[in-house]
């Protein structure tokens, strides 16, 4: 059987067929998208311009912000355009690109969050060795490794998915091209592909999750032994936001990708898709800026510079 697909375009799931609700969807997604762009760009600008934030933790935070920008930009603008133009179509090459980019940014995001847990573990549990272990060269190598691993991981999954033959239907029950929904449309035998995706994702996701949990168990044990209440508060203020981000991204992504493909209705898939594709990139800057005094101080300083430059 040829690997060439007979499908030239896919039809994405719309949020509504009512024109007024389509416009409402466009406006809501536009607000969320602009909030994510502004929040992540402010985080990047604050860290780059404030020399006090040139530390490993904020270096990884800048990488996380760039990943969030890429992740939300790979899905939301196309969905907004479809709602505004009353269209549901996405071309085959655009769908391939969307799958590759979204999996790339999401998988790299999870890997980076795992490294950030290790960074917090070393900083809190082994503070005397922190500068030696998390030196600049090591941080660059870690960040580069996550990007390379994300590219390889995404290429494997994208190639594995689009080697299948799509000839029965071209309707995707999601507002963006998603691998589990694409597997539903394959008329060739997709069981091996599906099992490979699930198995590979389970191994990687479980490893990251276990590593993060173990790191935070040791972190919390160390923090509870800190005599100073201010010291405990500072340690928790840098750890709890990271743990919240990890939990939101991992649990929603695991539900979407590791559940049996035909087990849920399209409305539930749509809601879960919004939860892990739209919400985390928008909430990450809010969580980190609200719970981190250094970020808030840098943002106030940044906004002060802007106000002064306008005078």
- pLDDT on residue 72: 93
Single pTM value for the model: 0.85
- What DSSP string describes the chain? --S--S--EEEEPPS-SSHHHHHHHHHHHHHHHHHHHHHHHHHHHHHHH-GGG-SHHHHHHHHHHHHHHHHHHTTHHHHHHHHHHT--EEEHHHHHHHHHHHHHHHHHHHHHHHHHHHHHHHHHH-GGGHHHHT-HHHHHHHHHHHHHHHHHHHHHHHHHHHTS-B-S--EESSSS--HHHHHHHB-S--HHHHHHHHHHHHHHHHHHHHHHHHHHHHHHHHHHT-S-HHHHHHHHHHHHHHHHHHHHHHHHHHHHHHS-TTSS-HHHHHHHHHHHHTHHHHHHHHHHHHH-HHHHHHHHHHHHHHHHHH-
The 10s digit of each residue's pLDDT in 248-283 is 777 777 776 666 655 445 677 777 788 888 888 888
| Domains along the chain with CATH numbers | 9-310 (1.20.1070.10)
4 pLDDT above the threshold of 50: no
The 10s digit of each residue's pLDDT in 35-70 is 999 989 988 988 888 888 888 888 999 999 999 999
The 10s digit of each residue's pLDDT in 182-226 is 887 877 665 566 667 667 777 777 788 888 888 888 888 887 777
Confidence band for 308, pLDDT divided at 50, 70 and 90: very low
- pLDDT on residue 60: 92
- pLDDT on residue 200: 73
Phi-psi region at 86: left, alpha or beta (left = phi > 0; alpha = psi -120 to 50)? left
298 pLDDT above the threshold of 50: yes
């Amino acid at each position: 059987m040829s690997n060439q697909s007979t499908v030239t375009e896919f039809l994405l799931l719309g949020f509504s067929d009512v024109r007024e609700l389509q416009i409402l969807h466009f406006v809501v997604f536009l607000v969320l998208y602009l909030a994510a762009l502004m929040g992540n760009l402010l985080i990047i600008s604050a860290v780059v311009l404030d020399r006090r934030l040139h530390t490993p933790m904020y270096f990884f935070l800048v990488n996380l912000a760039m990943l969030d920008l890429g992740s939300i930009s790979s899905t939301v603008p196309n969905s907004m355009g479809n709602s505004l133009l009353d269209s549901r179509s996405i071309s085959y090459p655009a769908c391939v690109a969307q799958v590759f980019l979204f999996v790339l940014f999401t998988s790299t995001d999870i890997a980076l969050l795992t490294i950030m847990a290790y960074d917090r573990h070393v900083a809190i549990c082994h503070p005397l060795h922190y500068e030696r272990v998390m030196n600049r060269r090591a941080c660059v190598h870690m960040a580069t490794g996550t990007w390379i691993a994300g590219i390889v991981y995404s290429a494997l999954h994208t190639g594995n998915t689009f080697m299948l033959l799509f000839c029965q239907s071209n309707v995707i029950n999601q507002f963006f091209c998603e691998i589990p929904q694409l597997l539903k449309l394959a008329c060739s035998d997709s069981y091996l592909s599906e099992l490979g995706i699930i198995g590979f994702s389970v191994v990687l996701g479980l490893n990251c999750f276990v590593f993060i949990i173990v790191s935070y168990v040791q972190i919390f044990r160390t923090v509870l032994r800190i005599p100073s209440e201010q010291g405990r508060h500072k340690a928790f203020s840098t750890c709890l936001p990271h743990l919240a981000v990890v939990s939101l991204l991992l649990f929603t992504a695991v539900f979407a990708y590791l559940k049996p493909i035909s087990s849920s209705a399209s409305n539930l898939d749509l809601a879960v898709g919004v939860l892990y594709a739209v919400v985390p990139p928008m909430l990450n800057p809010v969580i980190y800026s609200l719970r981190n005094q250094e970020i808030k101080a840098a943002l106030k300083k940044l906004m002060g510079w802007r106000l002064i430059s306008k005078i």
